[in-house]
Chains A and B, each alone.
Chain A
Amino acid sequence: MKKITVNDNILKWEENMNINVILQRMNYTFRMLVVKVDGKLVKKNDYNSTIVYPDSDVKVIHLISGG
């Protein structure tokens, strides 16, 4: 099985897997995120167009919200 790592969790890799697909698979619905693929920042506008390849290390940093 080809895989990627998302926040240290193993996730099955899929063809044409972009950031939005990863967020869906992980059920990451929070809106204030910082996404990095192999250490490189991905801006929100680029979530759809950024394709992730097998063995990528994806960090989805959830910021803090609320009082």
Chain B
Amino acid sequence: MNTSEMKSKHKLLKDYSYELGEIEKGYTNRTLYVNLSNNEIKEKPVTQFMKDKFIGGKGFGLKLLWDATKPQTKWDDPENEIIISPGPIGGITQYAGAGKSLVVSLSPLTDIVIDSNVGGYFGPFLKFAGFDALEIQGKAEKDVIVIIDGKEGVVRIEEAPEEAVDSHILAEQLTDMYAKSENKKNFVSVVSAGLAAENSNIGVLNFSFYDKKRKKVRLKQAGRGGIGSVLRNKKIKAIVAIADGIKPNNVVDLDAIKECGARFNKEMRELDDDQCRMKKEGTAHLVEIMDDYDLLPTKNFKYGSHKDIMNIHSSVWRSKFTQNVFDGCWIGCTMSCAKAVDGFELKTGPYKGDKVIVDGPEYETVGGLGSNCGIFDADHIIEANFYCDTYGIDTISFGTLTAFLMECYEAGIINKEITGGLELTFGNKDAAIELMHQMARGEDFGVIAGLGIRKMKKYFAEKYGADINFMNDIGMENKGLEYSQYVSKESLAQQGGYAMTNKGPQHDEAWLIFMDMVNKQIPTFEDKAEALHYFPMFRTWFGLMGLCKLPWNDVEPVNNAETDEPAKVPEHVANYITIFNAVTGLNIDKKEMIRQSERVYNFQRTFNIRRGYGLRKHDAQPYRAAGPVTIEEYESRSERYDKQLLENIDVNPEGKSTEEKVAILRKYKEDMYEQLLDAVYQRRGWTQNGVPKISHLKDIGMDLPEVLEIVEPLQ
């Protein structure tokens, strides 16, 4: 069936006309609300209060979700929402990485708020269409698409029975359907999920952009926390944004932005080849570096390096990625790190034999689908990357949960009978990819795997009597979200950077391993606490703006080493402040920048508390994140651990069994983590139970009545 025939099968449920309007100083000053239960569509004003306190992006998402839900709302209740917001800087084209969307929802994995950032053109197009955020509530009866036509000023809800669900086909179909001609395809962006998102809790949203050079639709992922599963639970097949060209943000000082952009672009031209090679390798440049520092998760985070690293080395990815093409996921991004493998022939699954474009793999995908599962096969990683994307599931969660299953299998917790014949041993790539296909089909053991690690632990304990303590030690999840792909055992600060996050262990709040473990720059608890205050707040700011974090620190000015605080990249921080002021006409400094984030960060913490989480006990980490759980793990690095016993605890390891040494080291490491929590909570202005103090909320200007109502009884 061609796209015209598909379109003819659409049934219009609702259309809504609106004035297109203009963007003023980065804001359209309204949001779009769509309810799929009753097909209501309306505009909501963005107040000055909302801009002052929540800024945009993730901040707007949190505010709208707070207002729309009750503390008891579950992820699959109709009142849960998916909110997409680009932020005030989002959509400018004069500085790299300014096209990000922030997506917020209640997560099926964590039962708290999840936020996920993503490239692709949808966020900017939403703003060009006239909205600072899209808020979707309710559930449709049958599969629908929501179309936001920023050319005509119309929003439509249509039943769409014939289109595919898997993203690589669906995004292509809808791009063809809604572009007036070939040369207008780059003004259509599609948000979609896939078949596995329907049958699991680890669904992603794919945000498309049309690559004019390749004449292909590309996909970027809002990966974490299962928002794709929420999308399909609402029976949304896709959300389509159509733009009428690139609209200016009507900024206050365009020249100032251009000046920052020109300096940054020069750095990319002149320094990238000697620094991170983002234009050639993307984030996959990190693979062997992480291996060299014993940080690349291998076999469910047991180890940090592997002898077969050369099979997944960055040079392999460079040879697989098409070179010398523009790979920015938004216009004007000279970092151009959205690498792709072209013409890849699939070897398995429903699209076997098809030659496809595969977006990625990025570092996290190589670690998750590869080394962490003991698989050192580049073509398998590309194939699994493709299927994760088109099926709409998160490569990080899938990788980490598969690694957990492999360890459970090898430890005898599960077996072939339980897995329905899948021999889930480390390195078994055929079993791993079949598990993914089962997830997409909603069949067999794939359905169990799709629950995520936290629910699987409970299931295995209840159904098969598995040892819950052991599974809690090796199951790499915190708050219900699977860990991203770094070994944190030797960096106490990074253990906090993972487990003290608001949403769960994703490294986008803080990546402190080098600073802590290698540089030894933050030796005291106070030092670590300062880093675990500054970096999460600084990095939260990107999510308020619609900015990508990579241009902040994946290329650095030539004189960065000579600055007082090179780890913060001061010149780039100054660029961001200049750009924010130039867009909005405000006049913030770097202190106010952190304050903006603190308000939103503390609001998110309070949101978690409102839902029955967000306390000290919820910041607990699995012991695998801190130290060796098993004998083999200890003995693989016995020299290191024996030294720690001797130097840190004053315990002579000689004459002690490995079991004894594991136990002594564990007690020490667990105590260190508790002390870290104390220090960080104090620095963040929280009680020792992790609750924001009223005095701190007043100090940062976030003592809103609804916030105080939650935290007051817990002071």
Contact = CB atoms under 8 A, between A and B. Distances in A.
B566 A66 contact: no
Contact of A8 (B274, B520, B553, B562): B520
Given A7-B518, A30-B289, A32-B276, A66 B561 contact: no
Contacts of B562: 41
Interface string B4-46: 0000000000000000000000000000000000000000000
A32 B520 contact: no
B508 interface: yes
A23 to B, nearest CB: 11
Given A7-B518, A7-B519, A32-B275, A63 B567 contact: yes
B554 interface: yes
A66 B511 contact: yes
A44 B558 CA distance: 10
A29 B553 contact: no
A23 B548 CA distance: 31
A62 B289 CA distance: 12
A65 B553 contact: yes
Given A61-B566, A63-B566, A65-B553, A29 B288 contact: yes
Interface in B275-320: 275-276, 283, 286, 288-289, 292-293
A66 B363 contact: yes
B556 A61 contact: no
Contacts of A65: 276, 286, 553-554
Please classify the interface of chain A as helix (H, G, I), strand (E, B), loop, or mixed, using the class held by over half of its residues: loop
Contacts of A32: 275-276, 556
A66 B286 contact: yes
B283 A64 contact: no
Contacts of B508: 67
B668 interface: no
Nearest to B514: A62
A41 B561 CA distance: 8
Contacts of A28: 518
B518 A63 contact: no
What bracket does the count of chain A residues touching chain B fall in?
20 to 34
A35 B613 CA distance: 43
A2 interface: no
B507 interface: yes
B352 to A, nearest CB: 32
Interface in B552-589: 553-554, 556, 560-562, 566-567, 569
Nearest to B562: A41
Interface string A19-63: 000000001111110110000010110000000000000011111
Residue of A7, A41, A64 most packed against chain B (CB within 10 A): A64
A48 to B, nearest CB: 15
A2 to B, nearest CB: 22
A64 B553 contact: yes
Given A29-B289, A31-B274, A66-B554, A7 B520 contact: yes
A7 B519 CA distance: 6
A35 B276 CA distance: 17
A66 B283 contact: yes
Contact of B511 (A43, A60, A61, A64): A64
B292 A43 contact: no
Contacts of B274: 31, 44
Contact of A34 (B289, B507, B548, B561): B561
Nearest to B511: A64
A65 B569 CA distance: 11
A8 to B, nearest CB: 5
**5 closest A-B pairs (Cβ-Cβ)?**
A62-B514, A34-B561, A29-B292, A8-B520, A34-B566
Given A44-B274, A63-B566, A64-B512, 18 more contacts: A7-B520, A8-B520, A30-B289, A30-B293, A31-B275, A32-B275, A34-B560, A60-B518, A61-B566, A61-B567, A62-B518, A63-B514, A63-B567, A64-B511, A64-B514, A65-B276, A67-B283, A67-B548
24 contacts: A7-B519, A28-B518, A29-B292, A30-B292, A30-B293, A30-B514, A31-B276, A32-B276, A32-B556, A34-B566, A35-B561, A41-B562, A62-B514, A62-B519, A63-B514, A63-B560, A63-B567, A63-B569, A64-B512, A65-B276, A65-B553, A66-B511, A67-B507, A67-B508
